[in-house]
Amino acid sequence: MTPPIPQGLLDSLCKAGHVVVLTGAGVSAESGVPTFRDAQSGLWARYQPEELATPEAFRRNPRLVWDWYTWRRELVAALQPNPGHYALAEMARYTHLTLITQNVDGLHQKAGSPEVIELHGNLQRVKCQEEDRVVESWGDQKEVPPRCPRCGGLLRPDVVWFGEALPQEALESAWAAAESCELFFSVGTSSQVQPAASLPYLAYDRGVPVIEINPNETTLTPYSAYFLRGRSGEILPELVRQAWRASSGSPSPESGLGIQ
Ligand code: BV8
């Protein structure tokens, strides 16, 4: 059962001129994407993500790392956004929303979110390790990992590994949004991975209310003005319904009656 949403939060949300939402793996959990901590099931149970999601792991065993990402890419490609993703796509129609995600599954875009800042890249994209440029198609090369059709360098997933810098433009856009927003939502993240986990504090330090949505408390919870305990797939649609949809009378996008 979704907890009641404080009226004060609903009023602030309707009045806010700029809202930031930072999402983590928990937002995709209800779509069937294993959260990062429990991504290790079955075939991959014997590896820690931090052991595989690093440049060293790729240098040491490029085939193993490539195969792990192929497994995740194919798993995610078959999955659909959940009501939490659709609620965030709808929220962008009612307010100036900056959506920042740590997720690499592309489900926000699949749900129709118009602009998504991808801090950690995207599983569906592949880039050349030498040129650091995305490669659109790598054909059906037999070699694993495949090689860049331009320079012959090894191809790798276009994601940010542990120990790698985040994309400068994405990080700067996220930083600027956290410095200028009037409300900051942290949804479905354990708030452990840096530098993403520092973003809510940029808002908090300016006296901006931070709202956390998570079934579990995190290190951010004590700094949150509101902690909505529960699943994002239930709370986010309720938040949008109570804040805007009920007053505007417009149906939700996933109802198929939404204004396209
Ligand atoms: C960097 C792509 C520097 C790959 C990922 C201080 C400052 C800077 C760096 C560090 C620092 N301290 C430590 C570091 C190093 C490191 C780091 O943060 N380590 C952690 C483990 C301590 N950071 C880095 O290495 C970063 N790089 O800083 O480089 C630099 C600078 C210049 C030049 C060179 C280097 C890079 C970090 C990016 C790593 N890549 N992903 C891939 O996916 O394969 S991060 C990866 O972890 C995912 O993106 C994922 O998002 C993230 C895990 O975090 P969460 O999203 O929070 O997921 P998690 O499973 O932990 O939690 C899920 C939450 O959901 C839980 O709270 C759960 O309760 C909740 N939940 C569950 N169900 C639901 C739900 N919530 C709502 N609804 C539900 N239904």
What tens digit of pLDDT does each residue of 2-17 get?
A: 778 999 999 999 999 9
Site to substitute for ligand 1 among 2, 35, 211, most atoms within 8 A of C-beta: 35
Q: Which helix (H) or strand (E) holds 13?
A: helix 7-15
Distance 136 CA to ligand 1 centre (A): 26
In 3D space, the residue among 52, 15, 55 whose CA is nearest the CA of residue 183 turns out to be 15
Distance 26 CA to ligand 1 centre (A): 12
- Residue type at position 256: G
pTM of the model: 0.94
Shortest-distance atom of ligand 1 to CA 218: 67
186: helix, coil or strand? strand
**Average of per-residue pLDDT values in the chain:** 91
Shortest-distance atom of ligand 1 to CA 36: 60
Is residue 215 in contact with ligand 1, taking CB distance under 6 Å? yes
Cβ neighbours for 25, distance < 8 A, ≥ 6 positions apart = 33, 34, 35, 36, 37, 102, 103, 188, 189
Is residue 156 in contact with ligand 1, taking CB distance under 6 Å? no
Residue 211 has pLDDT above 60, yes or no: yes
Cα separation, 22 vs 84, in Å, equals 13
In 3D space, the residue among 84, 36, 69, 38 whose CA is nearest the CA of residue 192 turns out to be 36
pLDDT in tens, 102-142: 999 999 999 999 999 999 999 999 999 999 999 998 767 88
Our answer to whether residue 96 is catalytic in this structure is: no
Query: Rounded to an integer, what is the distance from CA 47 to the centroid of its chain?
Result: 23
**Widest CA span of the chain, in angstroms?**
58
| ∠ Cα 22 119 109 (to 5°) | 70
Distance 103 CA to ligand 1 centre (A): 9
What is residue 1's predicted lDDT score, i.e. its pLDDT? 65
Is residue 235 in contact with ligand 1, taking CB distance under 6 Å? no
Is residue 190 in contact with ligand 1, taking CB distance under 6 Å? yes
Smallest CA separation from ligand 1 atom 53, residue: 36
Range name among 101-110, 156-165, 238-247 with the lowest pLDDT average: 238-247
Smallest CA separation from ligand 1 atom 42, residue: 53
Residue spans of alpha helices (H) in 47-165: 49-52, 55-60, 62-77, 83-94, 107-110
Is residue 99 in contact with ligand 1, taking CB distance under 6 Å? no
Is residue 206 in contact with ligand 1, taking CB distance under 6 Å? no
Residue spans of alpha helices (H) in 156-249: 168-180, 199-204, 232-240, 246-248
Is residue 53 in contact with ligand 1, taking CB distance under 6 Å? yes
